[in-house]
Each structure stands twice: as C-alpha cells, then as structure tokens.
Structure 1
Amino acid sequence: MAHLGVEVAEVRAGLVTLKMKFRPELTQQHGFFHAGGSATIADSAGGYAAYTLFPENSSVLTVEFKLNLINPAQGDWLEATGRVVKPGRTLTICQLDVWGVSGGSRRHVATGLQTLICMKDRPDTGS
C-alpha cells in the first residue's frame, strides 16, 4: 500500500475508506488509473472494514471478490470504501465502491462485492 501511496481516510466499525493520489505511473495507456490500482484499494478497503469487526489475534484474507468498472477511473485521487454488509463468525461480505475525485466532484468508477475469511488465532506475521 505504501508503494502505491495509499492513505487511510476513514475507519469506523465495519467501514474503511482509502485514498490513492494520482501519479502517472499508476495509469494505463489512456491516462486513466489502471484497473489494478482500483481493484487493489477496493480489496484493501473491504478487508480492513471486515477486520474492524474481527476478534483480537485474528487476521483477514480475501476469499473472492468481483469488481465492476463502471466509468473510467480518473481524478486527482481515487477513494475506495469497503462496507460490511454481512458479518459472520467465519465469512464476512463487504460492498466495495471506488470514486474518482477531482476538486469538489466525485464520479463512481467501480462497484463490487467481496467475501473475506476470519483467520482466528492467526495474527498477521508482518512484512
């Protein structure tokens, strides 16, 4: 996340928002943010949102996710929000939304769903 310049914008129980500022090296051939960057921050926002509801000494892994790219990802930055839709003991479902932000304007650029697994008694190993 540090390599992409991702910042945490908001953390609440069951909701996390991340921001990724525009840099030319994060774009594809038409100058839009690359879908890989959009998917990365969406996946991470959802993972962190689920993690806020997990027990101590656990960690999170994505089981699957689907992301629909609905508009070109452009703007001064991308903002991804992960929101827990259905918490569970083992599996948690999150809604993912990515917005392109320029000045005061926001455009919805991607939306999706994600399933995450709670790895109980398996804290992150760090890297």
Structure 2
Amino acid sequence: MMKSIDARIDAIALGSVTLSAPVGDGFRQQQGFGHAALTFALGDVAAGYAALSVIPPEFDVMTAEIKINLLAPAAGHLTATGRVLKPGKRLVVVSADVWSEGPDSARKHIAVLQGTMVPVPV
C-alpha cells in the first residue's frame, strides 16, 4: 500500500510516526481533490506504525477499529502523524492527524483519526 501511494517515513520516535505522500493522479476523486481513502490510508498506517514502536518486536499490529473525521479536502502533499494515546498488551489506542499542503504552501488540517490496534504475534 505504501509503495502504491508513494508514501515515505519522515520521522520515527517512541509512540509517534510521521509519514507523507503526494496526492497522485490515480488517487483523486471527481472534483480533483485527494480521495478520502488516501487520507484514511495514510492516517491509519501512521497510527499503526506508532503502535508498532511501543510493542515488543515479536509482534505486529492490526487495526481493530478506526474512525476518521474529514475536516477539509486533500490537495497537493499530505503529511500524517500517528501517536499512541495508550499502549497496552492487548490493545493500543492510537490517533493520527493528517495535514495537506497545497500549491500555495498553505498547510491545512484535513483529518483526525482515532482507533485501536491489536498486537498479534508475528
């Protein structure tokens, strides 16, 4: 998924991961803005990577549930920062903020996600 949306990891810290990706031509909706699925995917992956940073290395994570509030249309280049709100052995509560930077370089908060990741043995 990350490869198909041309995403990259920009920063990693304990409990926090920042990713970015362009709004590519194949990921636009009918008005030309980035599709909500792109915004969701970037936020979900950032939150999942943040969860991975607080669990033992012999575990991976799967999203159990996650919700999104879309605040504004996506355009230009997207950045998502995922954070761990509460680590745990069975559940990791996470959030993510997604920002858009358009051609005018104005940064706009476009989405907020909150969810639960489940650690699973690798």
Alpha-carbon distance in structure 1 between the residues aligned to 2:101 and 2:84: 23
Deviations, residues 3-23 of structure 1 (Å, cap 9, x unaligned): 110111111110001101132
Partner of 2:27: 26
Partner of 1:86: 86
TM-score by length of 1: 0.90
Q: State whether structure 2 residue 52 is matched by structure 1 residue 51.
A: yes
Deviations, residues 53-83 of structure 1 (Å, cap 9, x unaligned): 11121110000000000111112x1001111
Per the alignment, in what secondary structure is the counterpart of residue 83 of structure 1?
strand
Identity of paired residues, percent? 37
Alpha-carbon distance in structure 1 between the residues aligned to 2:87 and 2:45: 17
Alpha-carbon distance in structure 1 between the residues aligned to 2:57 and 2:30: 43
Gaps of 5+ in 1: none
Amino acid at match of 1:57: E
Report the count of equivalent residues: 120
Deviations, residues 84-125 of structure 1 (Å, cap 9, x unaligned): 111111101111110001364210000020100111xx22xx
Q: State whether structure 2 residue 94 is matched by structure 1 residue 97.
A: no
1:1-127 matched pairs, under 5 angstroms: 1-75=2-76, 77-102=77-102, 104-119=105-120, 122-123=121-122
Alpha-carbon distance in structure 2 between the residues aligned to 1:79 and 1:53: 21
Per the alignment, in what secondary structure is the counterpart of residue 3 of structure 2?
coil
Gaps of 5+ in 2: none
- Segments of 4+ in structure 1 off by > 6 A? none
Per the alignment, in what secondary structure is the counterpart of residue 32 of structure 2?
coil
Alpha-carbon distance in structure 1 between the residues aligned to 2:57 and 2:11: 21
Q: What is the root-mean-square deviation of aligned Cα atoms in Å?
A: 1.1
